[in-house]
Amino acid sequence: MGIVHVTIGVTERQRMVEALRESEAKFRLLFEKSPDAMLLLDGDVFVDCNQAAVEMMGCASKEELLSLRPYDISPERQPDGRLSVEKARELIDRAHREGSLRFEWVHRRMDGEDFSAEVLLTAIPLHDRQILHVSLRDVTERKRAEEALRESEANLRSLLEHAANFAVYRVAVDPSNPYAGKVVMVSPSIREITGISDPYHFESWFENIHPEDLTRAVEANRRAWERGEPYSQQVRVYHPQKEQWIWVHTASTPVFDAEGNLTHFNGLIVDITEQKRAEEELREREVQFRSIFESTSDAVLIFDFDGTIVEANPAACKMYGYSYEELIGLSGKDIARSDHYHIFEDFKRQVKTSGRFSAQSVDLRKDGSPIHIEVRGASFSYKGRPHLLAVVRDVTERVQASQILERCVEERTRELSTLLEVSHNVASTLELEPLLGLILDQLKAVVDYSG
């Protein structure tokens, strides 16, 4: 029986030794292959490390890293101003007492670059003493991201607090509210924009809406909550402090949780009063322009930069003999006489470059008859894009009258020349017969006289 007990005891001990060796092998494999930097610290001396630690610290070899102390791979002081050597010893002592300790630490690589690391110290027994297992994780990028997030949040907070003509808000689902929402966040500027005294009281957002806009706004709000669809409305709101109606544009986007349930709306309220006034002034100017455009007796044509007619007034249609539908889409060359094409090209070029043009030309009606015109051109914004504006006056009658006048002047000049010659001959001769023959010849040339 004694032999059996001894045999069993030896076998069990061998199993334990084998299990220990296997456990140590697994630990060693985990230690060596871990992507996190790992070291073993005995007192303030590193006794082992993995390759990840060597690379993290920028050391040439494991031996170089093991020759250093914790404060050798740290800047002189930590961000709180304390000396690294003093703070390191304090944290090491705490880890031994408490069993483990997690903290952030600024390390310094061998090339002098500082970086932030998350450090986990874990006390482990080794024979008759206790050492620390050190796990390091470079959190520089995370810290940068956190800092960027803090900066972004600070900027957003500043933006919300100092917003002038807009306000940002968040309204959460609240079935008990008659408008289905509960205000959980809103910029202080909403009071200045709308005059609402208590912006966290959602019902008050609807109290001062213009009666003509209220039904539409309430219905849009109901659909947004029921269907989870975006909300966007422009409404008039009475501002009690300013004692006037203002325009606001409220727009919000629904937000859902992981299960697809609507949780809240993020939105924006913008004061668009000045925009609405500008739009109204623009509409009035457009009405005035259209009235002038339609009623002027001169032809008005609007060309794109390619020279195509895109708009024409009734006087233009009448002048050229085309219907409105026929005239739109024609090129300027389609209505110009061929020997005056160059004037249309000059018109396009000068208006594009200098913004102004003035000339006389000859165009053609639909039936081919010529029109003598006087045209003035200018650059012009039409439907938000640059165009060419031409104001065309029919001066055909004036040109024809001028031509008749020129002929009359020529005839009168010839008559005067004849009389001058007659008077000269009278003064120089007393022979009446030759004089009479000369007068008759001249009269025949002037008035086609025959006798």
Q: How far is CA 24 from CA 19, 396, 398, in A?
A: 8, 111, 114
Identical topology for domains 34-143 and 296-398: yes
Burial class from Cβ neighbours inside 10 Å (0-12, 13-18, 19+) for residue 297 reads exposed
Q: Give the separation between CA 422 and CA 101, rounded to whole angstroms.
A: 135
pTM recorded for the entire structure? 0.50
Q: What tokens were used for 243?
A: 């004692």
- 207, with CB counted inside 10 A (0-12, 13-18, 19+), is exposed
Question: Distance of CA 36 to CAs 20, 30, 55, 120, 311, Å?
Answer: 24, 10, 10, 11, 73
Q: Under a CB-based contact definition with an 8 Å cutoff, are residues 92 and 71 in contact?
A: no
Architecture of domain 163-273: 2-Layer Sandwich (3.30)
Q: What is the pLDDT of residue 155?
A: 80
Helix (H, G, I), strand (E, B) or coil at 352: helix
Cα(249)–Cα(235) distance, rounded to whole angstroms? 7
- For the residues of 364-429, what is the DSSP string, one character each? E-TTS-EEEEEEEEEEEEETTEEEEEEEEEE-HHHHHHHHHHHHHHHHHHHHHHHHHHHHHHHHH-
Count of CB atoms situated within 10 Å of the CB of 9: 10
For residue 450, the model assigns a pLDDT of 44
Cα separation, 177 vs 165, in Å, equals 28
Cα-based distances in Å from 238 to 204, 206, 244, 286, 312: 12, 10, 6, 29, 43
Q: If you write DSSP's letter for every residue of 162-176 in order, what string do you get?
A: H-SSEEEEEEEE-TT
Q: What was the pLDDT predicted at 231?
A: 95
- pLDDT value at residue 285: 84
For residues 337 and 363, give the distance between their C-alpha atoms in angstroms, rounded to a whole number: 5
Task: Specify the pLDDT at position 295.
Answer: 83
* Domain 34-143 indexed as CATH 3.40.640.10: no
Class of domain 296-398 as given by CATH: alpha beta
Which of 60, 59, 62, 66 lies closest to 109, judged by CA?
A: 59
DSSP per position, 190-229: HHHHH--S-TTSTTHHHHTB-HHHHHHHHHHHHHHHHHT-
Name 75's Cβ contacts closer than 8 Å, sequence gap at least 6.
Answer: 84, 106, 108, 114
**Under DSSP, is residue 232 helix (H, G, I), strand (E, B) or coil?**
strand
Classify strands 166-173 and 129-138 as parallel, antiparallel or unpaired: unpaired
Q: Which helix (H) or strand (E) holds 76?
A: none
Digitized pLDDT (tens) for each residue of the chain, 451 residues in all: 544 444 445 566 666 656 656 656 666 677 887 888 999 999 889 999 999 999 999 999 999 999 999 989 999 999 999 999 999 999 999 999 999 999 999 999 999 999 999 999 999 988 788 999 999 999 988 888 888 888 887 887 777 777 778 898 999 999 888 888 899 989 888 999 999 989 999 999 999 999 999 999 999 999 999 999 999 999 999 999 999 999 999 999 999 999 999 999 999 999 999 999 999 998 888 888 888 888 888 999 999 999 999 999 999 999 999 999 999 999 999 999 999 999 999 999 999 998 889 999 999 999 999 999 999 999 888 888 999 999 999 998 888 777 777 777 677 677 667 666 655 655 555 455 565 566 566 555 555 544 4
Kindly tell me the burial class for residue 194, based on how many C-beta atoms sit within 10 Å of its own C-beta (0-12, 13-18, 19 or more): buried
Q: CA 309, 281, 300 angle in degrees (round to 5)?
A: 20
User: What are the extents of the domains in the chain?
Assistant: 34-143, 163-273, 296-398, 408-447
DSSP 351: H
Which tokens sit at 282?
Answer: 């623009």
Give the per-residue pLDDT at 4. 47
